[in-house]
Amino acid sequence: MWLSNSSVGRKVVMSVTGIALVLFLTFHMAMNLVALISAEGYNMVCEFLGANWYALVATAGLGVLFVIHIIYAFWLTMQNRKARGNERYAVVDKPKNVEWASQNMLVLGIIVIVGLGLHLVNFWSKMMLPEVMHKMGMHVDVLTQAYAADGVYHIQNTFSNPVFVVLYLIWLAALWFHLTHGFWSSMQSLGWNNKVWIDRWKCISNIFSTIVVIGFALVVIVFYAKSLMCGAAC
């Protein structure tokens, strides 16, 4: 099959899954910003999503896209290393016009995966998972069930801890580098790489990635600042 047997096909799969994940990140960032405006509004969004069928289908779909993206990322990396052979061990200067992010996409991707795991533990496992377990008739702690749709509570609880704040900011920094290269590279793989548009895509990629990452970081920083003010007032 062309999408798996050829290098170009694998890059297309990487690009399509990557763009889909970027769209989800954009939605998730916009959703998180609601928490800065209205705690009640954010919790309403959390309750609307919850463990409803459409949220579960979307979550499963995202999981599949993410797994495919990771598999193809490792596949292409191994393919490139095999193609270079012994040349990869040679000490050479950094090629001109090659971004740092481009040379370190695998490492950045691993940091993003680890950060996602942390995010799932801090939020998904305390919000959607308890609701799913409850619907399946499994035992769920009463307090855990009561706070399952209280997204603001979990944000406050997580980002009042400076360790999590630092870890999330490191994760977001890695995500920024990953997105700035991955976004325009996806467009290039899909054929939109003429001399005029490739520079435009790079510019759009930097701006878009910065907006997304700043949106996430604002939530982290603002809620941490609130916890400090609350602690000082108490």
pTM assigned to the model: 0.85
In a domain, 71, yes or no: yes
User: How confident is the model at residue 14, as a pLDDT?
Assistant: 85
Please check whether residue 95 lies inside any domain of the structure: no
Q: Output the pLDDT for position 75.
A: 82
Residue 69 lies in a domain: yes
pLDDT at 36: 96
pLDDT at 9: 74
Torsion of CA 77, 81, 84, 90, to 10 degrees: 120
Helices (H), the chain: 2-5, 7-37, 39-49, 53-84, 100-103, 105-122, 128-135, 142-146, 151-159, 162-189, 195-233
Each as own residue / partner, the long-range contacts of residues 63-70 (CB below 8 Å, 24 or more positions apart, any chain) are: 65/17, 65/20, 65/21, 66/17, 66/21, 66/116, 68/13, 68/17, 69/14, 69/17, 69/18, 69/21, 70/109, 70/113
Q: Flag whether 85 is in a domain.
A: yes
Q: Show the low-confidence residues of the chain (pLDDT under 70).
A: 1-5, 83-99, 101, 193-194, 232-234
Residue at 94 is within a domain = no
Query: What are 15-69's pLDDT values in tens digits?
Result: 899 899 999 999 999 999 999 999 999 999 999 988 888 999 999 999 999 999 8
pLDDT score for 123: 95
In the Cβ-directed half-sphere of 169, how many Cα atoms lie within 13 Å?
13
Predicted confidence at residue 3, as pLDDT, reads 58
**Could you give the number of structural domains in the chain?**
1
Q: Which amino acid is at 46?
A: C
Domain membership flag for residue 96:
no
What CATH code is carried by the domain that includes residue 66? 1.20.1300.10
Domain residues for 199? 2-89+103-233
DSSP 156: H
**Residue 97 falls within a domain, yes or no?**
no
- Residue 79 covered by a domain: yes
Q: Quote the pLDDT of residue 39.
A: 94
